[in-house]
Amino acid sequence: MKIVVIQGPNLNMLGHREQNIYGAMKLDDIHAQMENVAKQNNISIEFFQSNFEGEIIDRLQECLGDADGIIINPAAYTHTSVAIRDAISALNIPVVEVHISNIYRREEFRQKSLTAPVCSGQISGFGPFGYHLALIALMQILAEIEAINKRKEAEKK
Ligand code: DQA
């Protein structure tokens, strides 16, 4: 079982940027925590961060046939990128969207996510802990998919 975590623009600045909104944790620390939980659950996990829209789309496309699930924080592209939405939509694997801040109580332009409607669900407003919640949610979704597939296989026999 493999999960890929994709981080959008400026998230490499976590721990430095607007700590009152995004907290003090660095991206590497968030990833280290996720890696621990993934290991405990026998899941392989990969991390990717980019400030470029096209690189995020390339990484999403690489997940096809390779990853079982994705956690993505598209950051500012959440509110603007039809291209990232289309890339998520083209994949037939569960995707969980994360936002560190509660985008629904911020500026109006942040209150719309173009990407959330093509994701399994969205977690917004729980700080860096949201990534942990996303991982738990995604593992649950993947376990359900596995159980359904096993049942289908058994019915064939
Ligand atoms: C963010 C929210 C976005 O509006 C913003 O552009 C970000 C981070 C969040 O995690 O809260 O860069 O995605």
Q: Alpha helix locations (H) across the chain?
A: 19-22, 27-40, 53-62, 82-90, 129-156
Nearest CA to 129 among 2, 1, 24?
24
pLDDT reported for residue 12: 97
pLDDT (tens, 9 = 90+) of the chain, 157 residues, equals: 999 999 999 999 999 989 989 988 999 999 999 999 999 999 999 999 999 999 999 999 999 999 999 999 999 999 999 999 999 999 999 999 999 999 999 999 999 999 999 999 999 999 999 999 999 999 999 999 999 999 999 998 8
Catalytic residue among 31, 99, 131, 132: 99
75 CA to centre of ligand 1 in angstroms: 4
Pick 2-156's CATH classification: 3.30.479.30, 3.40.50.300, 3.40.50.880, 3.40.50.9100.
3.40.50.9100
Does this model's pTM top 0.85? My answer is yes
Which of 22, 56, 79, when mutated, tests ligand 1's pocket best, judged by the most ligand atoms within 8 Å of its CB? 22
Q: What is the 3-state secondary structure (H, E, C) of 59-79?
A: HHHHCCCCCCEEEEECHHHHH
Which residue shows structure tokens 């939509």? 89
Nearest atom of ligand 1 to the alpha carbon of 101:
11
| Residue 22 is a catalytic residue | yes
Residue 12 beta carbon below 6 angstroms from any ligand 1 atom? no
63 CA to centre of ligand 1 in angstroms: 23
pLDDT reported for residue 105: 97
pLDDT reported for residue 157: 83
pLDDT reported for residue 25: 95
User: Burial code of 10-22, b = ≥16 C-beta within 10 A, e = fewer?
Assistant: ebbebbeeeeeeb
Residue 101 beta carbon below 6 angstroms from any ligand 1 atom? yes
pLDDT reported for residue 129: 97
pLDDT reported for residue 119: 98
CB atoms closer than 10 angstroms to residue 121: 14
